[in-house]
Amino acid sequence: MRFEKGLKMLIVSSYPPRECGLATFSNDIVNAVKIVFGDTLSVEVCALQNNGVEYKYPQEVTYTLPAANLDEYRSVAEQINERKDIGLVCIQHEFGLFAGEYGDYILAFILALNKPIATIFHTALPNPDEKRKKIVDAIVDLSDRIIVLTKKSQEILTNYYNCPISKTQVIPHGNHNVLWEQKEKLKERYNYSDRIVLSTFGLISENKNIETTLFALPEIAKKHPNLLYLVIGKTHPEIIKKEGEKYREKLATIVKDLYLEDNVLFINEYVELKQLLEYLTLSDIYLFSSKDPNQAVSGTFAYAMSCGCTVISTPIPHAVEMLAQSTGVLLTKFDDSEEFKEAIVWLIENKEKRVSMGKNAFSQSHVTSWGNIAIQYRLLFDQLTTKEENLNFCFPPIKLDHIKNLTTDYGILQFSKFSEPDPESGYTLDDNARALINMVMYYKYKPNDETLSLANTYLSYIEGIQRPNGWFDNYKDYNNVLTAQNYEVNLEDANGRALWSLGTTLAHKETLPIEIVLRAKRCWDNAIVRIDDFSSPRAIAYALKGLYNYYSVYKEDEIEKQMEKLADELLRHYHINSDVNWCWYEDYMTYANNVLPEAMMYSYLVTGKMKYKKIAIITFDFLLSHYFMKGQLKVISNRGWFKKENERCFYGEQPIEVATTIIALDLFNDVTKNTKYKDQLKLAFVWFLGNNHLKQIMYNPENGASYDGLEDKHININQGAESTLCFFKARLIMEKHVAL
């Protein structure tokens, strides 16, 4: 997806390859904004440098600022002023990052700058002396917005400095996406399957207070000799300059004196992100032992939670804010080995509770994924540059990863816990029909043996669940055995979806191997004899979609007659239930509503009868009038259906409704050439990308899955088959609209 390039954001910060937490933070923001927004928001960097150190920076670094040279602050600011394409300057602030007393050189830069400024305070210290207070007050006055990473920092700036709360905004520290099911796999890969893994990471300095955790371990190691503590990270470069490896050598001596050589491993390197996330993901417990009560935020803490670690932490403000009894253990003191020991032992010996805490931490961290943080910075940018407009997102790549992960030899499993397939959920015809449609479409777009193999698996499921009389069951357990549920629920919708999937397969007979086409045709011929058994509107609509696809390659008069008969039945429902203010087929709207007007339009395309097209457009426009509000898509809630005489419920939105909206908009755009449908098509798809009421991404960039639901205050981050297949289909449709 490409848009005209406009104003840019400039970040002032230390930056890789410089090794420091703020450099990593800024690099993560740059990468996240690029992934989520692409060319629609370019980010440049002004890299802060220490004296005598030269780095080979990546291309986004367009300015360097020697932190100890006061004249350079003004000079670089004036260069930035000359740039008409820089719309916002974001200053990453730490007191030790800039030269002068309490880093007051930065004031020269801010005073010389005539661009909108957002200052991000990574540290907010209470009880300041007069000098520090004046500097912070000046930064606050000269900035257009003050960003903090925790609510505690916001309180400190409000209570101890002259910072109006209305000028501040909390944008938390971001974290990276990982897959929950990788925890055990990574333990196996690193040969730690039989170990209880504890970890700590970050640039090593005395402030890490790692000795406190080491002193807690001897008694635990005697009782649990399989304990392994990973201390990940090299000594901070600034510490190396001042005192060399004195602190690390001290820690190594403690390990030796306590006979912990078999239980503690120092990974003395600045590990790459991929490996770091692997170490954290395989860890059972993360130990955060900082002794600084004023440490406002910790990236290491945020990363550990997002990797599903159960965290034991000293009570820094970030931990106090983030840790609850359900996500980890918050200690009461800053330098107490005994308290660490008790917490570690309790978590080791209560595995079920430990795993539950890790899952809760993992789930809670979704809201602060770097993709979601990128959206917050984009919104900040638009507000401060008065670019109030719809967010323009990049399309994510099409990924089959989670679909493959959910698929066994029998078919695609129904549910997952987070991204881990849940065998107990078994299989449904509904999902395997959706999956077959997706793979048939994808095979035409990108032919390969893997896609064909998946299509074959889903078709086999459909064949295997068809009764001798042509009707289909829906549910099988993990062992591919029919369940009692088939005799307890209405199977019409599932049968309609089966016809839709078979018809779609046959419509692609020119691109598919003949063997698959013949199997689908046999299945279709057995099923079509039951066409008169459909009575519910949605089942009829799904059947009509299947008939349309079949008719596109087999121009049989009988199919046209069957379509007309079913379309008339939908019309009958419409005339019974509609009135002046309710242009719909039922006296309520439930799920997959879009298939009803879509089926009517397909009926028009086959029969040529305008009455079907007229009602299709009337009902679709009526539905869309309830779906598009204030530049966002808001579909019917699964908390309560939208009934004719009642007020509508909001929230509880599911991907199936968004995807069916996209599918129908694509058809109506093709048939009518009305540009409003093309505009709404894009607006509907970016619901997945973050243009929703929570301003959060609804798909997992790691595996191509979709999350299961958008609630009022959180996202259900389970990734079931229905949600993932619906997102995949929507994403595939958007391939032909990349120029939107």
The pLDDT of residue 387:
66
Distance of alpha carbon 580 from the chain centroid: 41
Please state the pTM of the whole predicted model.
0.92
Whether 93 contacts 122, CB under 8 Å:
yes
pLDDT in tens, 120-166: 999 999 999 999 999 999 999 999 999 999 999 999 999 999 899 99
Q: Give the C-alpha separation, 18 to 3, whole Å.
A: 33
> Does residue 3 or residue 647 have the better pLDDT?
647
Q: Report, as an integer, the average pLDDT of 513-536.
A: 97
The pLDDT of residue 66:
95
pLDDT band at 740 (very low <50, low <70, confident <90, very high): very low
CA distances from 630 to 46, 90, 412, 712 (A): 37, 29, 37, 17
Q: Which CATH class is domain 8-170?
A: alpha beta
pLDDT above 70 for 739 = no
The DSSP secondary structure of 582-639, one letter per residue, reads B-SSSSEE-SSTTHHHHHHHHHHHHH--HHHHHHHHHHHHHHHHHHEETTEE-PPPTT
pLDDT above 80 for 516 = yes
Q: Give the C-alpha separation, 363 to 343, whole Å.
A: 22
Relative to beta strand 475-476, strand 427-428 is antiparallel
Q: Chain-wide mean pLDDT for the chain?
A: 94
Q: Give the C-alpha separation, 327 to 731, whole Å.
A: 34
pLDDT above 80 for 5 = no
pLDDT above 80 for 248 = yes
pLDDT in tens, 576-610: 999 999 999 999 898 899 999 999 999 999 999 99
pLDDT band at 3 (very low <50, low <70, confident <90, very high): very low
Q: Report, as an integer, the average pLDDT of 413-422.
A: 97
The pLDDT of residue 2:
34
pLDDT in tens, 646-673: 777 778 899 999 999 999 999 999 999 9
Which residues lie across from 311 on neighbouring strands?
286, 328
Percent of the chain scoring above 70 in pLDDT: 98
The pLDDT of residue 1:
32
pLDDT band at 4 (very low <50, low <70, confident <90, very high): very low
The pLDDT of residue 395:
93
* Residue 312 DSSP SS3: strand
Q: Report, as an integer, the average pLDDT of 375-393.
A: 84
Which residues lie across from 420 on neighbouring strands?
417
pLDDT above 90 for 6 = no
Amino acid at 208: K
The pLDDT of residue 242:
86
> Pick from 371, 491, 381: which is nearest to 33 by CA?
371
Q: Report, as an integer, the average pLDDT of 91-116.
A: 95
Whether 93 contacts 139, CB under 8 Å:
yes
Domain regions of the chain by residue span: 8-170, 182-368
Q: Give the C-alpha separation, 562 to 565, whole Å.
A: 5
pLDDT in tens, 303-354: 999 999 999 999 988 888 888 889 999 999 998 999 999 999 999 999 999 9
Whether 9 contacts 88, CB under 8 Å:
yes
Fold of the domain built from segment(s) 182-368: Rossmann fold (3.40.50)
The pLDDT of residue 390:
60
pLDDT above 90 for 365 = yes
Q: Report, as an integer, the average pLDDT of 521-545.
A: 97
Q: Give the C-alpha separation, 534 to 492, whole Å.
A: 6
The DSSP secondary structure of 21-55, one letter per residue, reads HHHHHHHHHHHHHHHHHGGGS-EEEEEEE-TT---
